[in-house]
Each structure stands twice: as structure tokens, then as C-alpha cells.
Structure 1
Amino acid sequence: MNRFLSNATNRIDAKGRVSVPSAFRSVLSQRDIRELYCFQDFLFPAISVGGLDLLDRFERQIAGEDVLSPKANRMSLLIHGGGVFMKLDAEGRLAVTDFIRDYTGITTEVTFVGRADHFQLWAPQSFEAQQAAARQEFRSKGLGSG
């Protein structure tokens, strides 16, 4: 598997760390991602996590704009001003910092959500509510898999 799929909820330990699900650690290893680029998602109360390729993709979009344009500046505010680099510890745990907690509302548990080329960190109740709303929207508009 070379995609981040599914979701899992893990408890934060007494030292403020959470174990990244083994399936996600496996994808990180397969993609040779050692340093995690983490940024505050543009739409959801979640932290998006990926490798340098994720940051590079955003920076290519910025480079395609006039560097002084409002669009390029807003994008930089979001991806640079709302981003940090993090690493997993030797046991595959991630420190749940104030950067993560303040933006997501995470307290005692983290829901890891696969998003194909990256994953996200959510407060469990926020993820459940947003996923239910998305499912309901698809059902009400008849947007099935066909």
C-alpha cells in the first residue's frame, strides 16, 4: 500500500505523544518520508501531514503566480505561516504540540485520517461530524459512486 487510507483513533499518552497508526508509518517508510511537513488545513479543523513533496506542490503553485500578487501572498500565509516540520520519535509517535491542539481542538485522542498522498490529524468528534455531513451531502444530492 502506498496511499494513506482509512482512519484510526489513538490516545495521547501522558507525555503528550500519540502513536501514528502502523499502516500510516508503513506508507511513510515506503515513500521515504523522514521529516513531516504539517500545515493547518485550509477548510477543516485538521492538521494535514505529508512529506516535502506536499510542500513542494504548494510552492510550485505559488511560483506560478506573480510573487507580489494577493493570491501568492495568501497562499504563503497558509502554507508557510501555518506550517511546521516535525519528526516521529523512534517508536513512531508524534508530539501533539500546541500548534496541533490549538488549531484542531484535540484533547485526549487523535483521529488519523488518510487522504491518499497525505494524512490528517483531527479531534475525533470533529472528524465524525464532518464525515457524516459529507456523507449526507452526497446522499441528498444523489452523488453516489456511479
Structure 2
Amino acid sequence: MDDCIFCKIIAGDIPSECVLSTEAAFAFMDIGPLAAGHCLLIPRSHYETVDQMPAEEAAAVLGELPALVKAVQTATGCKGVNVLQNNGRVANQLVPHVHFHIIPRNPNDAWSFNWPAGEYTGDHMAELGDAIRKALS
């Protein structure tokens, strides 16, 4: 896609610090890191959201994730990582090209996020479970 910043990075039109390049996937250092070593893993093909990706291509891209996480941990010495994917504008996806954040984490680091756990009432969980299973079939 001509106006996609990540497609321009893959094409070499915008410089990046590439750390992984395969037929299906591309990973590079985030220019606005939440922690040193913060990387982005993206598909080479342009898809705005995960649900648009063919399963085979998603599997090929995500197949690179374990090695990339290990490499980030080794290079940074971090004690853990967050792997985050924001899917859609309402979910805070700022670049409309599928991407996974690999963010090194250490005790007492500078950022955190908390999400308040909700509760299901009555049969709501079972009803949603049924609806999801139906949508998958």
C-alpha cells in the first residue's frame, strides 16, 4: 500500500533497524520504544487487522515470534516481555498495518498497564462462548 509507513519501511523507502527478515515477516526496532529493545514484528503483505490475514500467512509471521522474543531477551537481558497487538483503531492501533510489539520488561521499569478484571453475570459467559463457537464454525 502506497501510503503505509510500514510498507515503506519494508520496501526500504524509509530507513529502519531491521532485526529479522523472512519471506513472510519483517521485524525492526520501534522508533518510539517503551523500553530499549522494543521491536515490531509485521507481515510483509499489507493487512490492516489480524482478521484480514490468511491463516497460513498469520502462522508464518507468528512462527518467528518465539525466536524474536528469545533474541530480544538475550540482547537486552530483560526478565520478561510483553507481546502486544492492537487490532483496530478503537483498540489503539495507530498504524493500519498488522504489527506485534515485543517489549522488554524488567522489575520496576518505567511503565505499566493494568486492566480491571470484569465479571460475567448469569449465563452471559456461556452465551458468548456459544456465539463465538458458532462464529468459528
TM-score, normalised with respect to structure 2: 0.33
TM-score, normalised with respect to structure 1: 0.31
RCO higher in 1 or 2 (8 Å CA, sep ≥ 6)?
1
Structure showing the higher strand proportion among its residues: 1
Structure showing the higher helix proportion among its residues: 1
Bigger radius of gyration:
2
